[in-house]
């Protein structure tokens, strides 16, 4: 894996290098169709709990095995998927608490919460070895997504959803120069984060070197590389996607095995990172499942 010359037979164009993606004050207990509930107050027990925001994200959380402390529902919400979510929570014995929209707005940082927020245990990060083991347990070659310096939580959330939808086994993010698994990331992933193994590492470049030593081929999505549809992704692989502003960092790019790109035919010169990832990962998924 360390012998670069041994890799040239697998790709036709590996040598390309370049860069490419009104508050309620009544604190008395109440009863309603959801059962007993109280007004929302921050308590010491809430420390260490993660917020999962929005109906889709809460639904996927309820489907997962993650411990849930309570479900917060906007007072007055009685229709649509809120009823289904409340029923799911009641069935699992999870407390449902009604509160005012203003409090939900403040808790979510004024992100769109759709009248529901779950307070759950923080999602635990896994290790890179755990991701490789997930692939092994499924009898599949690993597909790993590496997010290099993505600081926008909406972009990271969308990337997680894309990776989960195309069958990737895990995502690696750096401890610094990157957003973590915030409520906005969870909301943006529309619940996909509950089904994705995510590792946080101190040094992306060292992690890439370690993956290569384990037989994983590492591809950097940057402009000027081999068209993705001419690239052989079969076998263990990792795909590196950078921030929209800076792309994949130079030191990481130089450590990757192959540069790949999406040819652009319009007037814009690049896609949003999650859009680019969806295009490339669909090709990776196709190759892994077709032989």
Sorting pLDDT into bands at 50, 70 and 90, what band is 39? Answer: very low
Cross-sheet strand order for the sheet of 217-227: 198-201, 170-174, 143-148, 237-242, 217-227, 258-261
Least confident span in 64-78, 233-247, 270-284: 64-78
Check: CB of residue 71 under 8 Å from CB of residue 96: yes
Architecture of domain 49-121: 2-Layer Sandwich (3.30)
Please determine, for residue 137, whether its predicted confidence score (pLDDT) is greater than 50: yes
CB neighbour class for 287 (10 Å; exposed up to 12, middle 13-18, buried from 19):
middle
Which pLDDT score is estimated for 95?
87
Average pLDDT, the chain: 80
At 122, is the pLDDT very low, low, confident or very high (cuts 50, 70, 90)?
low
Cβ atoms of 215 and 208 closer than 8 Å: no
Structure-model confidence comparison of residues 8 and 131, the more confident one: 131
pTM to 2 decimal places: 0.67
Joined together, the tokens standing for residue 122 give 């923080």
Q: Is the pLDDT of residue 29 over 80?
A: no
Confidence of residue 291 (pLDDT cuts 50, 70, 90): low
Give, in words, the CATH class of 4-20+124-289.
alpha beta
Please list the alpha-helical segments (H only) found in the chain.
55-63, 81-91, 101-107, 128-137, 153-165, 183-188, 204-213, 250-255, 273-289
219 in Cβ contact with 239 (< 8 Å): yes
Q: Determine the pLDDT at residue 43.
A: 39
Q: First and final CA of the chain: distance in angstroms?
A: 22
Q: Where do the domains of the chain lie?
A: 4-20+124-289, 49-121
> How far, rounded to the nearest angstrom, does the alpha carbon of residue 231 sit from its chain's CA centroid?
25
DSSP three-state, residue 13: coil
Sheet with 49-53, strands from edge to edge, namely: 49-53, 116-121, 68-74, 96-99
| CA distances from residue 254 to 17, 150, 205, 249 in whole angstroms, order as listed | 9, 19, 10, 9
């Amino acid at each position: 894996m360390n012998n670069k010359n041994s890799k040239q037979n697998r790709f036709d164009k590996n040598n390309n290098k370049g860069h490419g993606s009104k508050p309620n004050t009544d604190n008395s207990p109440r009863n309603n169709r959801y059962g007993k509930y109280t007004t929302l107050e921050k308590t010491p027990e809430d420390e260490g709990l993660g917020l999962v925001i929005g109906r889709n994200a809460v639904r996927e959380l309820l489907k997962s095995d993650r411990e849930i402390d309570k479900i917060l529902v906007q007072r007055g919400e009685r229709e649509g998927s809120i009823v289904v979510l409340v029923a799911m929570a009641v069935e699992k014995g999870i407390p449902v608490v009604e509160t005012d929209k203003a409090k939900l707005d403040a808790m979510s940082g004024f992100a769109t919460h759709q009248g529901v927020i779950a307070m759950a245990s923080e999602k635990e990060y896994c290790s890179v070895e755990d991701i490789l083991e997930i692939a092994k347990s499924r009898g599949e070659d690993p597909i790993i997504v590496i997010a290099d310096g993505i600081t926008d939580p909406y972009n990271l959330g969308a990337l997680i959803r894309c990776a989960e939808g195309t069958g990737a086994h895990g995502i690696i993010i750096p401890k610094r120069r990157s957003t973590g698994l915030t409520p906005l990331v969870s909301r943006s992933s529309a619940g996909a984060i509950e089904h994705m193994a995510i590792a946080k590492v101190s040094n992306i470049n060292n992690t890439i070197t370690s993956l290569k030593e384990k037989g994983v081929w590492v591809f950097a999505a940057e402009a000027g590389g081999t068209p993705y549809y001419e690239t052989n992704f079969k076998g263990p692989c990792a795909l590196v996607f950078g921030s929209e502003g800076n792309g994949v960092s130079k030191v990481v790019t130089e450590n990757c095995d192959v540069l790949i790109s999406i040819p652009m035919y319009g007037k814009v010169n690049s896609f949003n990172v999650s859009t680019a990832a969806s295009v490339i990962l669909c090709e990776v998924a196709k190759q892994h499942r077709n032989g």
